[in-house]
Amino acid sequence: MLIDNFNDTIAAISTAVGEGAVGIVRLSGPQALAIADAVFSGKKGLRPSQFKTYTMHYGRIVYAGQVLDEVILTVMRAPYSYTREDVVEINCHGGIVALHRVLDSVLENGCRMAEPGEFTRRAFLNGRIDLSQAEAVIDIIRAKTDSALKISLEQLKGGLSKEIDKIRQILLNILVILEASIDFPEEDLKQQDNSEVSKSLDLARLQLSRLLDGAKAGRILRDGIQVVICGRPNVGKSSLLNALLKKERAIVTPLAGTTRDSIEEMIDIKGIPVRIVDTAGILKPRNLVERKAVRRARGHIRSADLTIILFDASKKLEADDWKLIEETRDTNVIAVINKIDLKSRINKEELLKVFHKVVELSAKKARNINLLEDALCEFVYHDRLVSPEFMLVSNLRHISALKEAQKLLDNAASALCDKLPLEFFTQDLKDASVYLDKILGKDFSGDLLDRIFADFCIGK
């Protein structure tokens, strides 16, 4: 476990490893300015400890009499910095060697190498942001689509914290009322307060369930979904992958068995990161390669969030189609009839009996692809309107804490309904608010911080 020692001044390379135009070495802590003084040589002999906050200065990093790099140095004084400590950022040339030499020079002068996420950890521990905001930082860095970025930025701004805090306040108010009626248990007071308690409790539960309702979409927007395309050979699976990607990724030929192995690609469909897998057609394998390809395709179907079963409009449904329908019965499926540009021989009515959703399109002619994209969005969002203003919870730690709180509030609500004495559920309410506190990091352990920040990059 990392022992947080705020007397340490930490340093790290904050930019990505590899060649770049600029690379940044960042320092944070009580000695940041003094250590920068020791290595920075600026114009007119001015030193970083004399610089005003939020100013940038040209100079050189000199160590052991040797010029290491030509740099621009920025000073951000406590408490108005990322960590609320004195922070110095040294913009170097982005070469790996130059950056490491500058980093070494500040380490030699008393900095300690920062652990992953330690700058953000300090921002949290010094009270600049709460834990859910700290967690948003890594999600911003990892965001795969605009929507994922939007969720994380909202969380960093404190959007989630505000929602959680509203629920916490309601619970605290209920607890105040309960404490009062336990202290003065006259019947009148009890009678009157119960309805108020019950109303407030319902409101807290409603807000909690709204947050949890958005969690599935939140998770998906953050982590994406895995979609697998399957179907008989030659129905146009690879053509559909290409149409969705809007490029020729998979080889398409009129020969059955062209796709020998599964092909995976990442696509952004209306803000949803979709990992899409084109499989070899499920068929009676003729040799070892095909047997393995089919086995792999089945594996993908089992692990996917959603399966697209493709049918050929110009062919009657065959035994292999029905076998596939049977195999995917317990999974989330969208049925797609491809090749609508050809004369139709398929019995669509039969498919509508089995599938909740049937989309008709032509992969080759790129017709109606948007209908499939809409169906995918519908699957993700269900019928819920997800507006950008609505906070979507996307972090598993938050979701599980919210679920625990929900269980406790449900208990409390049924105890209230059963007219059990108020003492029976005050503890549930207290426990529920502890779970909410955990999301914000009002209640945390060093272990938890280690786990959260282990995911971060060094220098953030």
Ligand X SMILES: Nc1nc2c(ncn2[C@@H]2O[C@H](COP(=O)(O)OP(=O)(O)O)[C@@H](O)[C@H]2O)c(=O)[nH]1
Stretch 387-426: interaction string toward ligand X, x if CB under 6 A: ----------------------------------------
Q: Which residues bind Mg ion (CB under 5 A)?
A: 237-238, 259
Contacted entry of ligand X, Mg ion, none for residue 342, CB cut-off 5 to 8 Å set by kind: ligand X
In eight-state DSSP terms, residue 420 is: -
| For Mg ion, the closer CB: 169 or 253 | 253
Phi, psi (degrees; rounded to nearest 5) at 375: -65, -35
Name the minimum Å distance from CB 277 to ligand X: 12
Return the residue of 234, 307, 395, 406 that touches ligand X, per CB under 6 A: 234
CB count within 10 Å of CB 403 equals 14
| For Mg ion, the closer CB: 259 or 307 | 259
The pair of structure tokens assigned to 372 is: 């499939």
In the block, residue with structure tokens 């049925």? 335
Q: Stretches 24-32, 82-90, 235-243, 382-390: which one binds ligand X (CB under 6 A)?
A: 235-243
Name the minimum Å distance from CB 238 to ligand X: 3
Residues binding ligand X: what is the number (CB under 6 A)?
22
Which runs of E-coded beta strand occur in 303-378?
306-312, 333-338, 358-360
Residue facing Mg ion at closest CB distance: 259
Stretch 114-133: interaction string toward ligand X, x if CB under 6 A: --------------------
Q: Is 71 helix (H, G, I), strand (E, B) or coil?
A: strand
364 contributes a contact to ligand X by CB under 6 A:
yes
| For ligand X, the closer CB: 157 or 365 | 365
Q: Any alpha helices (H) in 214-253, and if so which ranges?
A: 215-223, 237-245
Across the beta sheet with 333-338, the strand order is: 263-269, 272-278, 225-231, 306-312, 333-338, 358-360
Bridging pattern class, strands 333-338 and 306-312? parallel
Q: What angle do CA 24, 26, 28 make, to 5 degrees?
A: 170
Contacted entry of Mg ion, ligand X, none for residue 395, CB cut-off 5 to 8 Å set by kind: none
146 contributes a contact to ligand X by CB under 6 A:
no
Name the minimum Å distance from CB 4 to ligand X: 55
Contacted entry of Mg ion, ligand X, none for residue 339, CB cut-off 5 to 8 Å set by kind: ligand X
Contacted entry of Mg ion, ligand X, none for residue 363, CB cut-off 5 to 8 Å set by kind: ligand X
Contacted entry of ligand X, Mg ion, none for residue 81, CB cut-off 5 to 8 Å set by kind: none
Phi, psi (degrees; rounded to nearest 5) at 344: -80, 130
Which residues between 333 and 362 bind ligand X (CB under 6 A)?
A: 338-339, 341-342, 362
Contacted entry of Mg ion, ligand X, none for residue 341, CB cut-off 5 to 8 Å set by kind: ligand X
| For Mg ion, the closer CB: 286 or 353 | 286
Which residues between 243 and 302 bind ligand X (CB under 6 A)?
A: 252-254, 258-259, 281
Cα distance between residue 134 and residue 157, in whole Å: 10
Q: Would you say 92 and 22 are in contact if contact means Cβ atoms under 8 Å apart? A: yes
Cα distance between residue 275 and residue 288, in whole Å: 27
User: Shortest CA distance to 348 belongs to which of 297, 313, 396?
Assistant: 313
Radius of gyration over alpha carbons of the chain, in Å? 29
**Chain centroid, CA 329 distance in Å:** 30
Cα distance between residue 361 and residue 221, in whole Å: 26
Stretch 188-227: interaction string toward ligand X, x if CB under 6 A: ----------------------------------------
**Which residues of the chain form contacts with ligand X (CB under 6 A)?**
231, 233-239, 252-254, 258-259, 281, 338-339, 341-342, 362-365
